Amino acid sequence: MTTKEKEAYRQKVEAKMDRWRAEMDKLRADASEAKAKAKLDAISRLESLQLEASNRLAELKTAGEATWQATRKAVDRAVDEFESTYHRVVR
Protein backbone atom coordinates (compact mmCIF):
# COMPACT_ATOMS: atom_id res chain seq x y z
CA MET A 1 0.00 0.00 0.00
CA THR A 2 1.41 3.38 -0.95
CA THR A 3 1.72 6.29 1.42
CA LYS A 4 -1.05 8.06 -0.51
CA GLU A 5 -3.36 5.02 -0.13
CA LYS A 6 -2.55 4.78 3.56
CA GLU A 7 -3.34 8.45 4.04
CA ALA A 8 -6.61 8.12 2.10
CA TYR A 9 -7.58 5.13 4.22
CA ARG A 10 -6.72 6.99 7.44
CA GLN A 11 -8.79 9.98 6.34
CA LYS A 12 -11.71 7.73 5.40
CA VAL A 13 -11.66 6.07 8.84
CA GLU A 14 -11.30 9.43 10.61
CA ALA A 15 -14.31 10.73 8.68
CA LYS A 16 -16.33 7.70 9.79
CA MET A 17 -15.19 8.22 13.37
CA ASP A 18 -16.24 11.88 13.18
CA ARG A 19 -19.71 10.85 11.93
CA TRP A 20 -19.96 8.27 14.72
CA ARG A 21 -18.94 10.89 17.27
CA ALA A 22 -21.67 13.19 16.00
CA GLU A 23 -24.22 10.36 16.10
CA MET A 24 -23.18 9.48 19.66
CA ASP A 25 -23.55 13.12 20.69
CA LYS A 26 -27.03 13.10 19.21
CA LEU A 27 -27.89 9.86 21.04
CA ARG A 28 -26.63 11.35 24.31
CA ALA A 29 -28.77 14.45 23.78
CA ASP A 30 -31.80 12.31 22.96
CA ALA A 31 -31.18 10.19 26.06
CA SER A 32 -30.93 13.31 28.24
CA GLU A 33 -34.16 14.59 26.73
CA ALA A 34 -35.83 11.22 27.35
CA LYS A 35 -34.59 11.22 30.95
CA ALA A 36 -35.96 14.73 31.44
CA LYS A 37 -39.34 13.71 30.00
CA ALA A 38 -39.40 10.58 32.15
CA LYS A 39 -38.66 12.69 35.22
CA LEU A 40 -41.44 15.14 34.35
CA ASP A 41 -43.83 12.23 33.86
CA ALA A 42 -42.78 10.78 37.21
CA ILE A 43 -43.26 14.14 38.95
CA SER A 44 -46.72 14.40 37.42
CA ARG A 45 -47.52 10.89 38.67
CA LEU A 46 -46.23 11.78 42.15
CA GLU A 47 -48.39 14.90 42.22
CA SER A 48 -51.40 12.80 41.31
CA LEU A 49 -50.59 10.25 44.03
CA GLN A 50 -50.03 13.01 46.56
CA LEU A 51 -53.44 14.48 45.75
CA GLU A 52 -55.01 11.03 46.07
CA ALA A 53 -53.44 10.52 49.50
CA SER A 54 -54.53 13.98 50.56
CA ASN A 55 -58.12 13.32 49.43
CA ARG A 56 -58.18 9.99 51.26
CA LEU A 57 -56.89 11.66 54.41
CA ALA A 58 -59.65 14.26 54.16
CA GLU A 59 -62.17 11.41 53.88
CA LEU A 60 -60.65 9.81 56.98
CA LYS A 61 -61.19 13.00 58.97
CA THR A 62 -64.92 12.83 58.30
CA ALA A 63 -65.36 9.06 58.25
CA GLY A 64 -67.85 7.60 60.66
CA GLU A 65 -67.34 4.48 62.75
CA ALA A 66 -68.77 2.25 60.03
CA THR A 67 -66.38 3.44 57.31
CA TRP A 68 -63.29 4.44 59.29
CA GLN A 69 -61.36 1.13 58.90
CA ALA A 70 -62.02 0.90 55.17
CA THR A 71 -61.04 4.54 54.71
CA ARG A 72 -57.88 3.99 56.75
CA LYS A 73 -56.92 1.12 54.42
CA ALA A 74 -57.46 3.41 51.43
CA VAL A 75 -55.21 6.03 53.05
CA ASP A 76 -52.53 3.41 53.74
CA ARG A 77 -52.66 2.20 50.13
CA ALA A 78 -52.42 5.75 48.77
CA VAL A 79 -49.47 6.58 51.05
CA ASP A 80 -47.69 3.31 50.24
CA GLU A 81 -48.12 3.86 46.52
CA PHE A 82 -46.79 7.40 46.78
CA GLU A 83 -43.77 6.28 48.81
CA SER A 84 -42.87 3.37 46.53
CA THR A 85 -43.21 5.54 43.43
CA TYR A 86 -41.16 8.29 45.05
CA HIS A 87 -38.33 5.88 45.91
CA ARG A 88 -38.30 4.53 42.33
CA VAL A 89 -38.07 8.06 40.95
CA VAL A 90 -35.23 9.28 43.16
CA ARG A 91 -32.99 6.29 42.45
pLDDT score, position 52: 93
Number of separate helices (H) and strands (E) present in the chain: 2, 0
Q: Is the pTM higher than 0.85?
A: no
In contact, 82 and 53? CB cutoff 8 Å: yes
Report the C-alpha gap between 4 and 11 in whole angstroms. Answer: 11
Range of lowest pLDDT (23-27, 41-45, 57-61): 23-27
Residue 3 DSSP symbol? H
Task: Let me know: does 63 contact 71? Beta carbons within 8 Å.
Answer: yes
CB 48 within 8 A of CB 82: no
Looking at residue 81, what is its pLDDT?
A: 92
| Amino acid type, 5 | E
Q: What is the mean pLDDT of residues 11-20?
A: 91
pLDDT digits (tens, 9 = 90+) for 54-85: 999 999 889 899 999 999 999 999 999 999 98
